[in-house]
Amino acid sequence: MAASDDVESLARAFSGVGVDEQALISVLGKWHPEQRQHFRKATRDFFVEDERQFERWNDRHILQLRHEFLRLKDAIVAWTMHPWERDARLLKEALYKGPQYNVLIEIACTRSSEELLGARRAYHSLFHHSIEEDVAFHVHTPEKELLVAVLSSYRYEGPKVDEETAKLEAKTLSDVIGKKGLNKEDEDVVIRILSTRSKLHLKAIYKHYKAITGNYLDEDIEGDSRLKETVQCLCTPEKYFSQVLDASLRYNADEISKEALSRVIVTRADADMKQIKEEYHGKYGVSLGKKIEEVANGNYRDFLLTLIARSGE
């Protein structure tokens, strides 16, 4: 449980009575999900109990904090949010800002079934539509069917994998993807497999596809960035996230790429950050922490380093 002194000091900071950013980083960066939940429940001036049983930020305070913290504020606000609300707001922003289809795929395919269901419930509560409804209405490109399918998925998460079925589906994918272009029927087959099978089953398909073709599945669909991102998020998320982080940490990165730095670190700090750091170091020859120290500045840098340190080495 969060210490009462910490809750009180954070409440003062979030009330606009000056902000000790170093104190915020020190306290928030070490809190576990249960401690952040206690903070949400203990500070009712900032959070509203939603009828779907999660604590959502009061919109007025989000606006206030965004004026207060500059770039650090996005990471601070996102870190203290309930994960369902955080993902729901990321989905909304991704749909209307760009749109950023990769973020929709990222959330749909790297969250557990319960986490994705919670995000969909939060989206409905916050925006009075379903995310599937908004995607179906606003997306007019070929990605629509894939996006609706993965966002509405509720996958089996048990340990059982039918290896024979996985082999057959790997062969089916190799036959389909080996063609020069996917027709509508082929696309439906790929989307059905990617949106309905468990992640363990898909990893088995990924392995068998390599054995059959000599290539990895995401390599053979290089020309379709959305399918490639879907496969990576489902089968090799650490590879996907390390690539996103690399793009965000380049000196010539655009603003959207830079925003991904906060998003990935905040959303993965309690999940698979250890694996992401290992993949990043192996792929780019430098530790993620060292790269952040080179590129980011000030308290924002310190907060990110605090979060990635939670997973150990």
Dihedral of CA atoms 286, 290, 292, 297 in degrees, nearest 10, equals -150
Q: Is 214 annotated as a binding residue?
A: no
- φ, ψ of residue 15 in degrees (nearest 5): -85, -5
d(CA 281, CA 243): 11
d(CA 271, CA 3): 24
Q: For tokens 């993807």, name the residue.
A: 177
d(CA 298, CA 276): 23
Q: Is 18 annotated as a binding residue?
A: yes
Greatest C-alpha distance within the chain:
63
Q: For tokens 């003062």, name the residue.
A: 12
Q: Is 282 annotated as a binding residue?
A: no
Note the helical H segments in the chain. Answer: 4-14, 21-28, 33-42, 59-69, 71-80, 83-96, 101-110, 113-127, 131-138, 143-151, 163-177, 184-196, 199-213, 217-220, 225-235, 237-248, 255-268, 273-284, 288-295, 298-309
- Residue ranges of the binding site: 14, 16, 18
Annotated binding-site ranges for Ca(2+):
14, 16, 18
